[in-house]
Amino acid sequence: MFNTIYIERQVADHARVAEICARFPKATRVECDRYGEVFNPNAQDFRLQKNNPALILAHKHNGHVLAAPQGYGIGGERNHYFSHMLNCLYDCRYCFLQGMYRSAHHVLYVNYEDFAEEIERTLAAAGKQASWFFSGYDCDSLAMEPVSGFVEHFLPFFAARPQAWLELRTKSTQIRSLLKVEALPNVVVAFSFTPDEVYRALEHKVPGIERRLEAMLQLQQAGWPLGLRFDPMIYQDDYQAHYRTLFAQLFSRLDSAALHSVSLGTFRLPRGYFKKMVQLYPDERLFAGSFETCNDMVSYPRAQEREMTDFCTQELLRHIPESLLFPCSLAA
């Protein structure tokens, strides 16, 4: 899986580092002073590195928990996000991470305890108010679970703090660590989907829709609150038929009444990210359509965006009550 593991000197003796390295006995281990020496330099090619990314084990010094952008959320008023990892095992062509980072290497911050302390401080500041923590912003929350043990570490923490809500956002089927324990009412496992035609064209290395649905059914049966995320929605001429088919496939098997939330948002990116992604994949048809730039964000033309959102909203409301639906029109 990884042929090179970079290890920050500061965490070289960390127990979690030893566990992770033991999983990859053939990988070359390279010590570095700070992970930024490997991850941040200019003259790196994200697309070439995506062929064979390395793992970087690092210490997160500050900014463990950040405020989510205003308007971002699924019903809560105090919304935060945190990233124990940077980058993703999957290779979705629309993903903003391609435009955000110079390197495709996976950074894993191993000092989970510091994240937990910061979450604790954030909760204390909120008093008795519920706080949301979104974990799948800069990575997939579950895809690396067998390596990171992130969920296994954090579930007891959230179990003991019912006023803290955790969203695990994923396209992965790595749900073993969730099925091993009793479901927590304050941990929402949110699965992202696009229609099969989009999945086949753009979501490389991602488990198929049916496999993700199977994982959701197992979790639902075990009592875990589930979310559905249709973000980004990708435009094609036949998008209505494609999304209608996808919704029918999902809602015919899932218990809609037991869903926690459904959110949707159209494809949109900061202009700088979009430009970089086009340079990485100039032959990608996704980037060859017509787009508009507004407030430094690239998105589908306004009318097309509205039409798509309206259509998918109406279709979703055939399956779920409006109270579960959360549209998102913010920066990806």
C-beta of 240: minimal distance to other proteins in Å? 13
Q: Give the orientation angle of helix 302-317 with respect to helix 239-251, to 10 degrees.
A: 30
Which one among 6, 72, 96, 101 touches other proteins, defined by CB under 8 A? 6
Contact letters (x/-) for other proteins, 269-308, by CB under 8 A? ---------xxxxxxxxxxxxx------------------
What's the sign of the alpha-carbon dihedral 219, 132, 95, 303? positive
- From 38-46, 79-87, 123-131, 249-257, give the range in contact with other proteins by CB under 8 A: 38-46
CA angle 226, 229, 234 (to 5 degrees): 160
- From 25-33, 67-75, 127-135, 314-322, give the range in contact with other proteins by CB under 8 A: 25-33
Tell me whether residue 134 or residue 287 sits nearer to other proteins (CB atom): 287
4 scored as a contact of other proteins (CB under 8 A)? yes
Instruction: Identify which of 195, 169, 155, 198 has the alpha carbon closest to the alpha carbon of residue 289.
Output: 198
Contact letters (x/-) for other proteins, 163-202, by CB under 8 A? ----------------------------------xx-xxx
CA angle 281, 282, 283 (to 5 degrees): 90
Other Cβ atoms less than 10 A from the Cβ of 92: the count is 21
In angstroms, rounded to a whole number, what is the distance separating the alpha carbons of residues 120 and 171?
28
23 scored as a contact of other proteins (CB under 8 A)? no
What six digits make up the tokens of 276?
């970089």
Which one among 13, 15, 25, 43 touches other proteins, defined by CB under 8 A? 43
- C-beta of residue 95 within 8 angstroms of C-beta of residue 138: no
Which helix (H) or strand (E) segment holds residue 293: the answer is strand 292-294
* Residues of span 76-105 touching other proteins by CB under 8 A: 103, 105
What six digits make up the tokens of 238?
């036949």
How many residues touch other proteins under the rule CB under 8 A: the total is 51
Which one among 19, 23, 28, 294 touches other proteins, defined by CB under 8 A? 28
Which helix (H) or strand (E) segment holds residue 209: the answer is helix 209-221
Applying CB under 8 A, which residues contact other proteins? 3-4, 6, 28, 30-33, 37-38, 41-45, 47-49, 51-54, 103, 105, 197-198, 200-202, 204-208, 234-237, 278-290
